[in-house]
Structure 1
Amino acid sequence: MAPVKISYIVSFSSQDPKFPVENLLREDEPRPWLCCPRDRSGQLHVELQLERASPIGYVDIGNCGCAFLQIEVGRSSWPCDQPFLTLLPSVVLMTPAQSKLGQNRCGVRMFKEADFLAPALGQKWDRLRLTGSQPFSKRGQFGLSFIRVRTPLDPPHPPQPPQHPPPPELRGGGAAEEPPAAAGARRPEPRVPQPPGTDGAVGGAEPGTETQNQHGSTRGTPGAAGWGPGRPRRARVHAG
């Protein structure tokens, strides 16, 4: 909530020159505003211009002899003949007995939104009209000591949920990103099996070449046209 300053007095019914209506504008050292000593109407009113148009949530009143008080709200842009809306219906500040005995003249009342009428709540106003009356004692002066206006309480801000980064599968169009090392690694090529007979001769010799076995003899390996020059020779048998 924030205080709403009163800019100036728009109009008033009467005042005592020693206790003028401008006293309601004082904030450092409040002094009362009292009706004229010759005023026997038993009623007085004042219209105030607020510093800015704003919703009204709290009104604090310093009384100075009023038995009843009513607060109305309006806007400076309205025509002069447009009636104001009632913000606070007439409330009792002093009982008849207190008024006649002069007791409880300087009480303080604090009003909040629960005391205001619904049609005037939540809207922005820049004019206030206060009407005070004292029908039980017409011999003494009465008026108000001060008035303070404040806006409603600011609404509480709900806690924000923590922000979490989106899962990897939702990044980049829904595909999961590979780590930099894995993305640049080279995949091993698949090994193609070779058909039988094409893996060369014993020991990896190429076709058509001669190889030597463990006994020192040589034998051929299959070539393109069968057995080549390295075909095994028949051993000669020597007669005893």
Structure 2
Amino acid sequence: MAEIPFTRVVSVTSADPRHPAENLLRPEDGGKWRGAAAGEKQLSVVLELGDSRPIHSLHIGNDGAAFVEVLLGCSAGGEFQVLLPSSALMSPSESRAGAGPGRVRLFGPQALVKRPATPAATPTARYDRLQVVLSQPYCQSRPYGLAFIRAFAAPEEGEEPPPAPVRRLGPFTLREEGEGSPRRPP
């Protein structure tokens, strides 16, 4: 699976000057994006995709957000379409206690919404924008954001996907993301 790079930040609702949204363009540098102030109800960033191939999976590194939603859009206009429905990154009790704010979630093709090949704006347009919406309704005392987000394209024709590793922790087998993971109620 090839990583789809982000080329620029199109827009951002709020950003701490020490943790700007541009840090999401270079996830290997370890920079984060955080809102400017604690207590913001919702944060949003729109990133331009460097490649218009369909997204097969997302890797999201949290920095204190309770929920994440990811949408796809087109620079030619039109509405953003849901790619990843609102999903929990932290439980309410974890959010209030500030426990585990740096959790990483992997969202595979089962967790992503199946979508049309082209946006409704024009028949030849392709999705080239990714909007990430974060919220933290349970803790108003700490700013939150993302440590990183990575998008991956589907394997090429003829390329075999790597076998899924069996993850074990002592006598326990860990489940894949999406199987019984908590979701934000509608």
Normalised by the length of structure 1, the TM-score is 0.60
How far residue 118 of structure 1 moved from its aligned partner, in angstroms, is 1.8
Residues 208-223 of structure 1 aligned to structure 2 (within 5 Å): none
Mapped to 1, the partners of 2:135 and 2:99 lie a distance apart of 16
Structure 1 residues 1-240: aligned runs within 5 Å? 1-37=1-37, 40-78=39-77, 82-120=78-116, 124-156=126-158
Rounded Cα–Cα distance in structure 2 between residues aligned with 1:62 and 1:140: 17
Q: Which residue of 2 aligns with 1:201?
A: none
> Whose Rg is larger?
1
SS at match of 2:107: strand
1:42 Cα deviation from its structure 2 partner:
2.0
Matching residue's letter, 2:52 = A
| Aligned partner letter, 2:69 | Q
Partners of 1:56 and 1:125 within 8 A in 2: no
CA distance in 1, matches of 2:90, 2:33: 17
Shift of 1:22: 1.0
Residue 93 of structure 1, CA deviation = 0.5
- Unaligned runs of 5+ residues in structure 2 are 119-125, 160-186
Higher helix share: 1
Percent of paired sites with the same residue: 35
TM-score by length of structure 2 reads 0.77
* Shift, 1:77, TM fit: 1.6
Q: What RMSD in Å do the two structures reach over aligned CA positions?
A: 1.5
Matched letter for residue 150 of structure 1: F
With a CA cutoff of 8 Å and minimum separation of 6, indicate the structure with the bigger relative contact order.
Answer: 2
- In the alignment of these two chains, the number of paired residues is 152
